[in-house]
């Protein structure tokens, strides 16, 4: 993909701190890390969002995610794995990437998972009905 920053990183057209590479995936440091070692793991092939990938592609990527996760768990005290799809979900770069964020005792970093109002039983039911139809 011509104007994709992560495709450019894959092709080494722009500099980055790549510290792991295999046939299908790359791991490199995030340019604006939330913690020391904040890593992005990406497929070399361009997919905008995770649902565009097939099982084989995701399997290949998951090998790299697992390898880097084991490394981080060895170095740090914990690990958050995050993956954003679409702008509404916080995706700024439209090339699939997994954030692997090492966590350190007392690092003070907090995700904001809270919402003020509650999800209702009706809303859950509607979601589950739609999902049931999709999964059929």
Kindly list the catalytic residues. Answer: 97
**Separation between Cα atoms, residue 124 and residue 127, nearest integer Å:** 5
Beta strands in 5-86 (DSSP E): 18-21, 25-29, 39-43, 78-82
State the nearest-atom distance from the C-beta of 88 to Zn ion, in Å: 20
Strand partners, 43: 25
Strand partners, 65: none
State the nearest-atom distance from the C-beta of 124 to ligand 5GP, in Å: 26
> What backbone torsions phi and psi does residue 116 show, to the nearest 5 degrees?
-70, -45
Please give the residue ranges that form the binding site for ligand 5GP (CB under 6 A).
Answer: 5, 16, 28-32, 40, 84, 90-93
Which residue, 1 or 29, is less far from Zn ion as judged by CB? 1
x-or-dash string of contact with Zn ion, 71-100, rule CB under 5 A:
------------------------x-----
What is the CB neighbour count within 10 angstroms for residue 51? Answer: 9
State the nearest-atom distance from the C-beta of 92 to ligand 5GP, in Å: 4
Residue 90's Cα: distance from chain center in Å? Answer: 11
x-or-dash string of contact with Zn ion, 23-52, rule CB under 5 A:
-----------------------x------
Which residue, 50 or 73, is less far from ligand 5GP as judged by CB? 50
């Amino acid at each position: 993909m011509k104007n994709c920053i992560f495709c450019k990183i894959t092709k080494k057209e722009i500099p980055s701190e790549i510290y792991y590479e295999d046939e299908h995936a790359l791991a490199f440091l995030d340019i604006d890390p939330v913690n020391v070692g904040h890593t992005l793991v990406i497929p070399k092939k361009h997919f905008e969002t995770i649902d565009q990938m097939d099982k084989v592609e995701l399997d290949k990527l998951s090998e790299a995610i697992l390898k880097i996760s084991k490394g981080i768990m060895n170095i740090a005290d914990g690990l958050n794995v995050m993956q954003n799809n679409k702008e509404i979900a916080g995706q700024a770069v439209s090339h699939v990437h997994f954030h692997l964020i090492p966590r350190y005792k007392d690092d003070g970093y907090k995700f904001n998972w809270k919402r003020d109002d509650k999800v209702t039983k009706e809303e859950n039911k509607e979601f589950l009905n739609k999902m049931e139809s999709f999964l059929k």
